[in-house]
Structure 1
Amino acid sequence: MPVNPFRSALRRSGALAAAAVAVLALTAAAAPAAPALPMPPTPSADTTGDPALAARLRAATADLAGQGFAVAAGEATAGASAAIGTAAPGRALTAATPQEIGSVTKGLTGLLLADAVERGEVEPTTTLGDVHPWLTGHLAATTLEELATHTSGLPRLSTRAALAAPITAITYGNPYRWDTPENLLRDAAWTPLRGPRGEHAYSNLGYALLGNALAQRLGRPYPQLLHERVLQPLGMDATRAAPDPLPAGRARELGPDGRPSTPWRSSGSTPAGVGVYSTAEDLGRLARAAASGELPGARALEPVLDTPGARVGWGWLSADVGGRTVVGVNGATTGVRTSVWAVPGTGQWVAVTSPSGSTGEADTQTVAFRLLGLA
């Protein structure tokens, strides 16, 4: 399995949480009367959807933690969906259960960029200074393609989110709650670059700036623009960016150790994957379109940068696995995991969701690759 370079930041956050759990464990050992720590959840016997696919899903997740897993999978236009485990106490998970999708949103933002390029509204070389004429310095010279490929040199998080991250990694809170399009630009304008431009370094801040810049240039809020240009053409009617109120029937999200996780919400970081909800069935529509190439902004899937783990497009990854070329995108928050993968050469596609955070050893990409028959 290729290493996913987009997940290294999440592993670092997971390390902080793991350190906090270790400290708590030592404290508990010193106090015999203390209650036991929460434990990683495991899927219940609940099963919904296609029985054959559910059996394959249970086999593919037998060694993985999580309160439940949902999947949509198929080949060409044929497919099925199923789920195992629970969405909340006393409620079975289904492939129609809404949950956050994390950085799978970056794949949607990449499609939005490619669609705007195809329409002649922006160019890959359009800069943030072109969109925001008041900007100066390195940020003004940053191109939309640099943001889309994580080569802008910008840090992973905004100043506010970075300050909140050590605490929210332990409490499973929302580090992005202060981010707005305006303060993200101000932060980024005076924040030193983390690395040289042109070098791949994962940046949620960069993707937030990208989606907000497209919204500014095209004159519509990001959620509306995404719905009109990407979600509606794909028939992804259950997918919503920054919904208010949150979707009815959504899954309860759990951290890696089973504690409840706070949903992430942010008006500024939505394009990077904060507060975007979907279902396994809806993400299956995205995966199916990726397998066929029938996507608005399909150019986003084309690799433009090689990294040690995978080839990078505009929000999408591709790699050669088991003699087949796969293309896809993964996402995670503290309390969810999502993966959308396709094999264009065979027409196979799969989308996997889980309303439980990852410990870092395994995630929904593992499940997706197993269901695709890849080692």
Structure 2
Amino acid sequence: MDEDHGDARLAARIRALTGSRHPVAAAVVAPGGTRIACAGAGLDADFEIGSISKGVTGLLYAEALARGEIEAGTTLGELLPLGDAPAGQVTLESLSTHRSGLPRIPASAHPWRRTVALWRHGTNPYGEDLGQLLDQARGVRVGKPRPRYSNLGFELLGHALGRAAGTTYEELVRLRVTDPLGLDCFYLPATADQLRPGAITGTNRKGRPQEPWTGEALGPAGGIRADIRSMARLTEALLDGSAPGITALDPVAPLSTGARIGAAWVTVQIKSLTVTWHNGGTGGFRSWLGLDRATGTGVVVLAASTTSVDRHGFALLTGRDDDGRT
């Protein structure tokens, strides 16, 4: 495993917290400054951030509302060529809070077959382009509008937002997030050959390398890659309000017991602490980004393995170790 880079104390802390034999990076953003570290890879190593991509899509949704490009009641069918398919009647607002009635993954994508291939061979279970995604969406049945986590829903939401702005989702991310915030490594590879030189390979729990999760369709729900410096800068922008669509962080609906959701972002209460967060997981990576907005503190953890980093992120944010010690 490569040596540590960045803040030495933070690098030692994340090694101790995760016990990881694989690259892991963290950033701690506080009023007194930002600390970043990467253990096992350089600071320019980029990770799959998984479903934190949904948090980015949530920001873009709130920004599009503020710009008047869409309304909460705008439907998918107004922006995407879905014909008379039931999915065309789904509103963007319901998608942003996982209340659209759309399934997690469309049945036509053969999710069980793809999951088995992922388990056995580490293959990418996604990879569709936008045209293939729309074909899948046209055949989907829409269920009751209750809380139901949906990758399909956020894929469609992101691409609809791109259409509303007269561009693609990838370009929308660049124009409204990457460039304005100065994120040097924050991108959406559609194919594996678009990975940057600093891209690292994820591993499963047994340490086996996994194919990168790439695909045009996947982008809004889980296709962004970033290095820890860019994730720290994004966290700073979320805390100081300079990120686009910052109202996405504000909870507007119940999600589950003790949790509320804004546009993708989840808010929970931990004793006296209010935490706004999103996590992510792909075939070879795990990620977590959490904010204590009251104190202007945020934490990001990225790991090139499939062991969850959620509790480690919460531990860093609260200033406690996993056993409860300060």
TM-score normalized by structure 2?
0.91
1:161 to partner: Cα distance: 5.3
Partner residue in 2 for 1:214:
161
Q: Does 1:368 align with 2:313?
A: yes
Aligned with residue 81 of structure 1, among 36, 46, 49:
36
Aligned with residue 17 of structure 2, among 35, 38, 60:
60
Query: Quick one: distance in 2 between partners of 1:300 and 1:230?
Result: 14
Residues 1:48 and 1:202: Cα distance change in structure 2 (over 3 Å): same
Query: Quick one: distance in 1 between partners of 2:21 and 2:71?
Result: 42
Q: Radius of gyration: which is bigger?
A: 1
Code of the aligned partner of 2:126: Y
1:284 to partner: Cα distance: 1.1
Query: Quick one: distance in 1 between partners of 2:17 and 2:82?
Result: 52
Q: Does 1:119 align with 2:67?
A: yes
Contact 1:60 1:371 survives alignment (8 Å):
no
Residues 1:137 and 1:251: Cα distance change in structure 2 (over 3 Å): closer
Residue-pair matches, total: 315
Q: After superposition, what is the alpha-carbon deviation per residue over 1:272-308, rounded to whole angstroms, capped at 9, x for unaligned?
A: 113x210112111122222233321001111122122
Q: Does 1:128 align with 2:76?
A: yes
Partner residue in 2 for 1:204:
151
Q: Does 1:70 align with 2:25?
A: yes
1:137 to partner: Cα distance: 4.6
Q: Does 1:317 align with 2:266?
A: yes
Report the 3-state secondary structure (helix = DSSP H, G, I; strand = E; otherwise coil) of the residue aligned with 1:261: coil
Code of the aligned partner of 1:154: L
Q: Does 1:272 align with 2:221?
A: yes
Partner residue in 1 for 2:198:
249
Contact 1:324 1:343 survives alignment (8 Å):
yes
Partner residue in 2 for 1:170:
120
1:233 to partner: Cα distance: 1.8
Query: Quick one: distance in 2 between partners of 1:134 and 1:268?
Result: 15
Query: Quick one: distance in 2 between partners of 1:50 and 1:239?
Result: 22
Query: Quick one: distance in 2 between partners of 1:108 and 1:66?
Result: 29
1:1-375 to 2 correspondence within 5 Å? 44=1, 46-62=3-19, 65-76=20-31, 78-84=33-39, 86=40, 93-132=41-80, 135-158=83-106, 159-160=108-109, 162=111, 163-177=113-127, 179-193=128-142, 195-197=143-145, 199-242=146-189, 245-274=194-223, 276-306=224-254, 307-308=256-257, 310-358=259-307, 363-372=308-317, 373-374=319-320
Report the 3-state secondary structure (helix = DSSP H, G, I; strand = E; otherwise coil) of the residue aligned with 1:228: helix
1:310 to partner: Cα distance: 2.0
Report the 3-state secondary structure (helix = DSSP H, G, I; strand = E; otherwise coil) of the residue aligned with 1:326: strand
Query: Quick one: distance in 2 between partners of 1:180 and 1:367?
Result: 35
Query: Quick one: distance in 1 between partners of 2:242 and 2:274?
Result: 17
Structure 2: tracts of 5 or more residues without a match: none
Report the 3-state secondary structure (helix = DSSP H, G, I; strand = E; otherwise coil) of the residue aligned with 1:252: coil
Contact 2:55 2:278 survives alignment (8 Å):
yes
Report the 3-state secondary structure (helix = DSSP H, G, I; strand = E; otherwise coil) of the residue aligned with 2:194: coil
Query: Quick one: distance in 1 between partners of 2:50 and 2:100?
Result: 21
Structure 1: tracts of 5 or more residues without a match: 1-43, 87-92
Query: Quick one: distance in 1 between partners of 2:151 and 2:115?
Result: 13
Report the 3-state secondary structure (helix = DSSP H, G, I; strand = E; otherwise coil) of the residue aligned with 2:167: coil
Q: Percent identity?
A: 36
Residues 1:189 and 1:58: Cα distance change in structure 2 (over 3 Å): same
1:134 to partner: Cα distance: 5.2
Query: Quick one: distance in 2 between partners of 1:366 and 1:295?
Result: 26
Contact 1:72 1:95 survives alignment (8 Å):
no
Report the 3-state secondary structure (helix = DSSP H, G, I; strand = E; otherwise coil) of the residue aligned with 1:214: helix
Report the 3-state secondary structure (helix = DSSP H, G, I; strand = E; otherwise coil) of the residue aligned with 1:220: coil
Query: Quick one: distance in 2 between partners of 1:102 and 1:210?
Result: 16
Residues 1:141 and 1:317: Cα distance change in structure 2 (over 3 Å): same
More displaced stretch, 288-297 vs 223-232: 288-297
Query: Quick one: distance in 2 between partners of 1:109 and 1:103?
Result: 10
Report the 3-state secondary structure (helix = DSSP H, G, I; strand = E; otherwise coil) of the residue aligned with 2:35: strand
Query: Quick one: distance in 2 between partners of 1:248 and 1:69?
Result: 18
Contact 2:249 2:276 survives alignment (8 Å):
yes
